[in-house]
């Protein structure tokens, strides 16, 4: 029987780490999260993720890792930001990159309507300019 070393899900980024490396990773990950969050536009900033407190203890006296990891994963998901256009969720820094290429489908129609308005405006302004002269 192969025993896999237990892994702990980081409650900030949702990645899995060994029981020893998670202790090193967590403070670094939280620091990185704060740095990235501070760079975001105000409307995209998130409240700091809270470390889930799971007190479930199995019959053998160990923490219930599955419950702990599930809570951590849920917590990590809450740090994702939904795209206002397509509704998919991204890490905040990824969302900024994504939004450059994610365009609403109605954009082309709105552009055509505006072009029509501009044509009407330019005619009237031309008239007023010629009157001033
Ligand atoms: Zn992490
Ligand atoms: Zn999108």
Please give the structure tokens belonging to residue 110. 């709105």
pLDDT band at 32 (very low <50, low <70, confident <90, very high): very high
Compute the distance from residue 79 Cα to the ligand 2 centre, in Å: 17
Q: Residue 68: count other Cβ atoms within 10 Å of its Cβ.
A: 19
Q: Which residues of 74-102 are buried (b: 16+ CB within 10 A; e: fewer)?
A: ebbeebebeeeeeeeebbbeebbebbeee
Distance of CA 96 from the midpoint of ligand 2 (Å): 10
Q: Say what the pLDDT of residue 91 is.
A: 84
Average of per-residue pLDDT across 27-45: 90
Distance 22 CA to ligand 1 centre (A): 8
SS3 of 101-118: the string is HCCCCCHHHHHHHHHHHH
Average pLDDT over residues 91-101: 88
Q: Cβ distance 73 to 54 under 8 Å?
A: no
Reply yes or no on whether the pLDDT at 120 is more than 60. Answer: no
How confident is the model at residue 125, as a pLDDT?
47
d(CA 91, CA 10): 14
- Which ligand number lies closest to the CA of residue 102? 2
Q: What is the distance in A from the centroid of ligand 1 to the CA of 1? A: 30
Query: Ligand 1: distance of its center to the CA of 130 in Å?
Result: 66
How far is 22 from 51, CA to CA, in rounded Å?
Answer: 13
């Amino acid at each position: 029987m192969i025993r896999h070393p237990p892994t702990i899900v980081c409650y900030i980024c949702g990645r899995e780490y060994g029981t020893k490396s998670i202790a090193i990773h967590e403070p670094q990950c939280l620091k990185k999260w704060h740095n990235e969050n501070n760079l975001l536009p105000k409307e995209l900033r998130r409240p700091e993720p809270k470390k889930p407190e799971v007190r479930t203890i199995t019959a053998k006296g160990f923490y219930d890792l599955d419950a702990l990891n599930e809570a951590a994963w849920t917590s990590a998901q809450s740090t994702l930001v939904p795209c206002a256009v397509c509704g998919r969720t991204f890490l905040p820094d990824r969302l900024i990159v994504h939004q450059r290429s994610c365009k609403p489908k109605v954009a082309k129609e709105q552009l055509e309507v505006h072009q029509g308005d501009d044509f009407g405006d330019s005619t009237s302004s031309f008239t007023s300019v010629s009157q001033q002269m």
